[in-house]
Amino acid sequence: MIRTLLLQEARRQHITSEPAEVGPGRFETEDEALIRSLLEQTLDDAKPSAEDIRLEWQKDPARFKTPPLWEVSHILCAADPRNEEGRAKALERANGILALALNNAKAFSSLAARESDCGSKTSGGALGQLGPGDTVPEFEAALRSLSEGEITSQPVLTRHGYHIIRLDALAEGQVLPFEAVREKIAEALEKTAWAIQARHFVDRLVKAADIKGADFSVV
């Protein structure tokens, strides 16, 4: 195994290391500390140059944007997804409400106030502004598929039940200037370069070991 080869190399080089704290009250094992020290002493400084960082940004500045913001309203038909009978009843109810909402978009708020099982019913179903990670994955995926003012074409199932979702407004993410993302790009490039060096180092150890029939594909 690669872990064994790394430990053998650390001991061959007479490397010693004290386990470092990796979290509140959590420390590396002695083997983990040896491997970390071996790689720190063996691999070169992988810090990218200023030119490398700018070139990476220039490839596609649009990759580096502020997150979008969604102004959202919804109507919830609560159900436990694990309860098949209850889920079926909630879906039937949600489909009925959805048909009314699609037939008369202006009635969405009054439908939410009357029908929704969410506390947001008191504000006509309005959830305010949401960003990435602010809601469950299924709900967020539905938001990303909607245009401003659009209502989901079918109820969206989450662990809370079935949602009828309306995207009231959308603020697209804005492209960030180079200086705002320079450190983030530098960190990503450094991690990539370090990983490549580590892979090459491990490959050299594997070749030197010349062990037949072993799988060294996973570190």
Q: Cβ(161)–Cβ(139) under 8 Å?
A: no
What would the pLDDT profile of 21-54 be if each residue is shown by its tens digit? Answer: 888 989 999 999 999 999 988 888 778 999 999 9
* pLDDT tens, residue by residue, 150-183: 999 999 999 999 999 999 999 988 999 999 999 9
Contact 50, 143 (CB under 8 A): no
pTM of the model: 0.63
Query: Is a pLDDT exceeding 90 seen at residue 147?
Result: yes
Residue 65 phi, psi dihedral angles, 5° rounding: -130, 155
Q: What is the mean pLDDT of residues 56-74?
A: 94
Position 105 confidence tier, pLDDT thresholds 50, 70, 90: confident
Q: Is 91 exposed, middle or buried (0-12, 13-18, 19+ CB in 10 A)?
A: middle
What dihedral do alpha carbons 172, 177, 182, 185 form, nearest 10°? Answer: 40
Hey, what are 38's tokens? 């071996």
Residue pair 127/74 in contact (Cβ under 8 Å)? The answer is yes
Enumerate domains of the chain plus CATH numbers.
2-62+178-209 (no CATH), 69-171 (3.10.50.40)
User: What's the average model confidence in pLDDT over 74-84?
Assistant: 93
Handedness of CA 117, 121, 126, 129 (dihedral sign): negative
Tokens matching residue 19: 């386990």
Residue 159's CB is within 10 A of a number of other CB atoms, namely 10
Distance CA 121, CA 179 (A): 43
Instruction: Name residue, tokens 């202006």.
Output: 106
